[in-house]
Structure 1
Amino acid sequence: MQRYILSLLTLFLLIPAAAQPKYEVRAAWVTAVYGLDWPRSKATTTPESIRRQQKELTDILDKLKAANFNTVLFQTRTRGDVIYKSSIEPFNSILTGKTGGDPGYDPLAFAVLECHKRGMECHAWMVTIPLGNRRHVASLGNQSVTKKRKEICVAYKNEYFLNPGHPSTKEYLMKLVREVVTRYDVDGVHFDYLRYPENAPRFPDSYDFKRYGKGRSLAQWRRDNLTDIVRYIYKGVKEIKPWVKVSTCPVGKYKDTSRYSSRGWNAFNTVYQDPQGWLGEGIQDQIYPMLYFRQNNFYPFVLDWQEQSNGRQVIPGLGIYFLHPDEGNWIREDIDRQINFVRSHGLAGEAHYRVQYLMDNTQGIYDELEENFYRYPALQPPMPWLDNEAPTAPSDLRISPEGNGCLLLTWQAATDNDRMNMPRYVIYASDTYPVDTTNPENIIAQNVRGTQYTYAPIYPWTEKIYFAVTAVDRYGNEGKAVQGF
């Protein structure tokens, strides 16, 4: 059976890549812990240091935008500390060199604003259960949750964790999530390490298991604890801002499949996650399984996620860090084949771990994405389980010269059934009329706010260009176009 699958996949992967989809999540994780991706410099009391740290981030965002990425997974909570102005947990020391040190600006507010300027979504990436090793926790002092809420924390193998088995843990995490979702215009909240430590039969939760287990096995009780956290947070987010996407990045292999074995290392048995159950219950909008594997350890498990998605968006996480010789022995064609496979099977997109390997163009991965796979923009896939009513078409599209070869596009606003949000707009341009808005090659801008847009052509004006504008709501529903020239 395994030899048959490998032969079939090898044959399939020789087929040329399909046309680029119009709707596709193209995401990258921006890692703040230890300054792995950002920041590299400290923000001190001087304006220059703040600008330098901010520029490091905008340089990353500029490069992602140039390659038509549309989603930034921005690390917002690390291990018991955060990258925003919180009333609950302290600033991470990576910002200033000092635990709790104020960098002089709000990094999450800045990241959201700069992502939106570039038409990209910003998702708050929050590490949930781990709190760090003893040295890290000690550095937080009295600001650590282990001091403030010691009843929901446990020590295990020289590290501290929130205890998923304590009923108040989900409330504490939701308090952090509420702070982020209420105060910031994030497009999503993305949960990492929402799991138990790997192979942890002696995790110190026996007291809670005796009290709350209610006849279940230890493994099932632990899985239920994590599911209860996911359910509580999902419902809480939807009560505040129903359009905000809720996602997790579980272990890449759910369980053994009939196609291929996980070799005993999987989400369900090793870390007590039940993410396919979360999808089936509808308490996830997106899921980013960490499929940092290749060949038969990748393809069968991608199919398994898609088949159990319940119509939700599955975005495989690709381990592009293995392209670096210090990390692995992958070649770039491994990633090429994975993207081809993901697209050909109709998954919602892919995410790249992590952004530094894109910035460094490791084995030419950035060039390959910019010039080939992501040559044209892509819109966010819609979420019909939340809202399936598109905005009306904008009207009265007008195009006028603005000098320096630029054109000013103006239009009358569209309306949407969700009165809490004004629609965003997608701008299309073509040499033919009417503009084909099904073709992603014609997209020149997305997530435009307001009712005007300045178009600066790359090449000198040589022929008449036609334009179209559509409205998109925050659930990804795109309405009809207004055409103009």
Structure 2
Amino acid sequence: MKRILLTLLYIILLLPLAAQAPKQEVRAAWITAVYGLDWPRTRATSPEGIRRQKAELIEILDKLKAANFNTVLFQTRTRGDVLYRSDIEPFNSILTGKTGGNPGYDPLAFAVEECHKRGMECHAWMVTIPLGNRKHVAALGKESVTKRKPAICVPYKREYFLNPGHPQTKEYLMSLVREVVERYDVDGVHFDYLRYPEHALRFPDSYDFRKYGKGRSLAQWRRDNLTEIVRYIYKGVKALKPWVKVSTCPVGKYRDTSRYSSRGWNAFNTVYQDVQGWLGEGIQDQIYPMMYFRGNGFYPFALDWQEQSNGRHIVPGLGIYFLDPSEGNWTMDEVERQINFIRTRGLAGEAHYRVKYLMDNTQDLYDILEESYYTAPALQPAMPWIDSIAPTAPRNLSVEKQADGYTLLRWQPATDNDKRNAPTYVVYGSDTYPVDTSNPENILAQRVQGTEYIYAPIRPWMARKYFAVTATDRCGNESEAAFSAE
């Protein structure tokens, strides 16, 4: 054990030397709507209120884009209420101050559109099992799922929950997911609290256990219930849109590892999440384990996730809120070491909880990411288990200098015919020919729709001379490049 811990310490000490930004990397942030923790601060009760609420979100997205983030986890369902036009559940009161109040626009549609304008992915972050406390459920009234579908809901410790042991629970959750995936151009659906309450030995599911347990232990039956929900939703999403990523943010420690103990608190035993089983079965595309720990609470468990990933994307969630003195006593070097470790070990990227601490530049976090870690754009990692065939390359890239100092790029499109998953384009530029498309420093824009792009350098004397364009599909496959003439 001492040798293993010394090896880990040695690796960690060397990490600052190995932090070069990869070309493909998930750089995500959670935008929390519950209680307006990150957004919104104003209410959409008038045209001016709608404008200000939208402007607040645009400010967040602009700042994320400026620091080369590429993934937004946008809270879409909280506790039995939602932030989109649903036929199933009411609008969240945070939008208007009133439960079910119509904000006058569709926040999810707006978030997706604005993320895509900036070349970023938008994932619908959906809280699944918890339904809120008694006061919240009472405020929802007849619109609450506890009133409309009482058979699948249970009270526990002054709160209400969907019952994972009831066969109709997975169908209800899938009905919500289907609305989101069919109606919106989301890039992913991201499930939170897809677990039982912690140490819920008295969770009121004894009737269902007797009926459906079939000789299993209570713990195994509960794990199987969550796995069946994950499996059912994963297969349902892939039947609708195969490229939509399905992910979960599980408890950050799966179970005890050979390297270090979880000290009695882990996903497998405490909340009945068999997440490594989900990865092994291939019913997750990404996981965002909530690794809000330091030292031996982080590194051995991050290695464990990666070693059991089955090739899927492991994106540790970083507890950046602990940088706030009122939340914890972390210093910025904790976060830097964790990002360096993630890159050194080849994990898919990292996610930051929550976006407020990025916007507030807590302990210079935002500045350090922008200036030292996210200095160049990053493309999304590929999903070869869904599709490994790259699009055809664009052709005949032409470059036309404009009188205003801008440069107009035009090309002929890739010839792929899947209109639902039509490729978009990545534009590269450099001062050397041919443009090195393996270098992320040369990425000028990504997720470009259409077949032209206006290059407008911020500083004219830093303008790139040569250009290249590739096509990418929504599974992250990138084509060969079309180059401008020398």
Structure 2 length as normaliser, TM-score? 0.98
Q: What's 2:34 paired with?
A: 33
Q: After the TM superposition, which residues 148-227 of structure 1 pair with which residues of structure 2 at under 5 Å, given as runs?
A: 148-227=148-227
Structure 2 residue identity aligned to 1:36 = L
Tell me the equivalent position of 1:377: 377
Secondary structure, aligned partner of 2:446: strand
Give 1:421 shift.
2.0
Counterpart residue number, 1:42: 43
Q: CA deviation at 1:374?
A: 0.4
d(CA) in 2 for partners of 1:346 and 1:123? 23
Q: Secondary structure at the match of 2:167?
A: coil
Matches within 5 A, 1:285-300: 285-300=285-300
TM-superposed deviation, 1:461:
4.1
Q: What does 1:33-432 correspond to in 2, within 5 Å?
A: 33-44=34-45, 46-416=46-416, 418-432=418-432
Cα distance in 2 between the residues matched to 1:453 and 1:49: 34
Matched with 1:14 is 13
1:417 CA drift (Å) = 6.2
Secondary structure of the structure 2 residue equivalent to 1:93: coil
Moved more, 412-421 or 290-299: 412-421
Deviations 1:116-151 (A, max 9, x none): 000000000000000000000000000000000000
**How much identity, in percent, do the aligned residues show?**
76
Equivalenced residue count is 483
The secondary structure found in structure 2 opposite 1:168 is helix
Aligned twin of 2:25:
24
In structure 2, C-alpha distance between the alignment counterparts of 1:461 and 1:369, rounded to whole Å: 26
| SS across alignment from 2:75 | strand
Contact 1:415 1:423 in 2 (8 A): no
- 2:236 is paired with a residue whose SS is helix
- Aligned-partner residue type, residue 283 of structure 2: I
Corresponding residue for residue 450 of structure 2: 450
Secondary structure, aligned partner of 2:411? strand
Supply the AA of the counterpart residue of 2:269: N
Q: Report deviation, 1:463.
A: 7.0
1:475 shift after superposition: 0.5
Shift of 1:47: 1.4
CA 1:463/1:273 → structure 2, altered by over 3 Å: closer, same or farther? closer
Unaligned 5+ segments in structure 2 are: none
- Contact (CA 8 Å) 1:415, 1:422: kept in 2 or not? no
| Match in the other structure for 2:4 | 5
Q: Is the 8 A contact 1:416 1:473 kept in 2?
A: no
> Residue 101 of structure 1 aligns to a residue in which SS?
coil
TM-score (norm 1): 0.98
Contact map agreement 1:432 1:466 (CA 8 A) in 2: yes
One-letter identity of the residue aligned with 1:14:
L
The DSSP-based 3-state class of the residue aligned with 1:14 is helix
Inter-CA distance 152–478: structure 2 relative to 1 (3 Å threshold): same
Q: 1:19: Cα distance to partner? A: 1.8
Superposed CA deviations along residues 339-364 of structure 1, whole A, max 9, x for unmatched, are 00000000100000000000000011
- Give per-residue Cα distances to partners, 1:357-384, cap 9 Å, x unaligned: 0000001111111001100010000000
Q: CA RMSD in A?
A: 1.0
Q: Partners of 1:252 and 1:299 in 2: how far apart?
A: 11
Task: Give, in whole Å, the separation in 1 of the partners of 2:84 and 2:243.
Answer: 22
Equivalent-residue separation in structure 2 for 1:286 and 1:404 (angstroms): 44
